Structure 1
Amino acid sequence: MTDPLSGGDAAARVDQMVAQAKQKAQRYQAMQAAVGQVSVTETGKDGLVTVTVDSAGNVTDLRITDQVRELSGAQVAAAVLTTLRRAQSRLPDRLGEVMAETIGDDRQTVDTIVGNYRAKFPEPEPEEPEPAESQHVRNLGAIEEEPAPKPPPARRPPGGSDEDEDGFGHSFMTRG
């Protein structure tokens, strides 16, 4: 019986497997470098906010127009977070494209990594229209309630002394 690795054919197969492993390692290094360069920029539907995220989903740029001065802090925060989530939710598709270009023959790795990104950065919930109060709309026909009047300050009864029975009631500024 002969050793299957001792023949020239076996050595060629080993050399071929080593070469393939080296090529695969180079493709994975290229994929890692390309993924590291991925960024996604998303602009809010109203154009007030633009957010850029890197391949890890971290904010690398945030632009807010001066038009946000007309909004409440809560509205600005909601616009930023909504736009951020939309940018992050686009990462899996973008990373899938980059990975397909570099290691496209390894569908299992691509699917696993893209699936992990989809779990981490899911599609945001659909936006609901804002209630009228938060859109700076006034109902001109409505009667607004006036605040209750403040009660008058308490007054001392006439003829009372400045000193109570317990000795308190004198001003600390007078001699007594």
Structure 2
Amino acid sequence: MSDPSPNGPGPAARIDQMVAQAKAKAERYQAMQAAAGQVSVTETGKDGLVTVTVDSAGNVTDLRVSDRIRELSGDRIAAAVLGVLRRAQSRLPERLGEVMAATIGDDQATVDTIVGNYRARFPEPEPDEPESPDPGNQVKLGALEEEAGAPAPKPPPVRRPAADPGDGDDDFGQSFMTRG
């Protein structure tokens, strides 16, 4: 059958072409989704004490802590872990942008929208956030009391109500469940 239009393909051919383009686009988006699902980012603190890996959703998938972390207080450890976690998460938009450019690079509006959503969800950490402060700048619990020479306060004694001598209770404080 010949093409009825001297100016180009007929309606059926154009529809076939649009269907083929839509299928190709759907395949590229499926490839992008699969590749984006495999994205992970690993970040290590400058001092090497903490290493965090996050998946494409920003969830922690691996956390490694050096034995040297014992030198830090709990607050310092938490600050180090959170600082490295935030840095790892903040690198997700860049990595996802790379994956998307390789798979659906011709759809810049979609790339910009998704990467923008990730940037809003995982912003760059504040530059002045301490990762793991100097362990020599710590105060140990009880150090202030030891320096002052004052003993720690004693807890108040436990007070029990006095038994009423006239209540006829002769089980001497035992449970009624143990009477024989």
Task: Using structure 2 for the length normalisation, give the TM-score.
Answer: 0.71
Q: In the alignment, what sits opposite 1:98?
A: 99
Residues 70/103 of structure 1: CA separation in 2 closer, same or farther (3 Å cut): same
SS at match of 1:75: helix
Please give the residue correspondences for 1:61-72 in structure 2 after superposition, counting only pairs within 5 Å. Answer: 61-72=62-73
Distance 1:13 1:117, change over 3 A: same
Provide structure 1 residue ranges, at least 5 long, that are not aligned to the other structure: 138-143, 152-176
- 1:100-115 mapped onto 2 (5 Å cutoff): 100-115=101-116
How far does residue 107 in structure 1 lie from its aligned partner after superposition? Answer: 0.4
Query: What residue in structure 2 maps to residue 146 of structure 1?
Result: 148
State the AA in 1 paired with 2:148.
E
Structure with the greater relative contact order (CA < 8 A, sep ≥ 6): 1 or 2? 2
Indicate the percent of aligned positions where both proteins have the same amino acid: 77
3-state SS of paired residue (1:61)? strand
Change (3 A) 1:146 1:105: same
Structure 1 SS opposite 2:148? coil
Distance 1:17 1:67 in 2: 61
| Count of equivalent residues | 140
RMSD of aligned residue pairs (Cα, Å): 2.6
Amino acid at match of 2:126: E
TM-score in terms of structure 1 length: 0.72
Q: Counterpart amino acid of 1:104?
A: G
Shift of 1:45: 1.2
Query: For 2:99 and 2:152, how far apart are their aligned partners in 1?
Result: 67
Question: How far apart in 2 are the matches of 1:59 and 1:150?
Answer: 41
- Counterpart in 2 of 1:84? 85
Seen in structure 2, the aligned counterparts of structure 1 residues 94 and 19 have a Cα distance that, compared at 3 Å, is: same
Compared CA separation, residues 110 and 48, structure 1 to 2 (3 A): same
Cα distance in 2 for partners of 1:56, 1:22 equals 27
Go from structure 1 to structure 2 and tell me whether the alpha carbon gap of 1:106 and 1:132 turns closer, same or farther (over 3 Å shift).
closer
Q: Which is higher, the Rg of structure 1 or of structure 2?
A: 1
Any gaps of 5 or more consecutive residues in structure 2?
140-145, 154-180
Which residue does 2:74 correspond to in 1? 73
Partner of residue 12, structure 1: 13
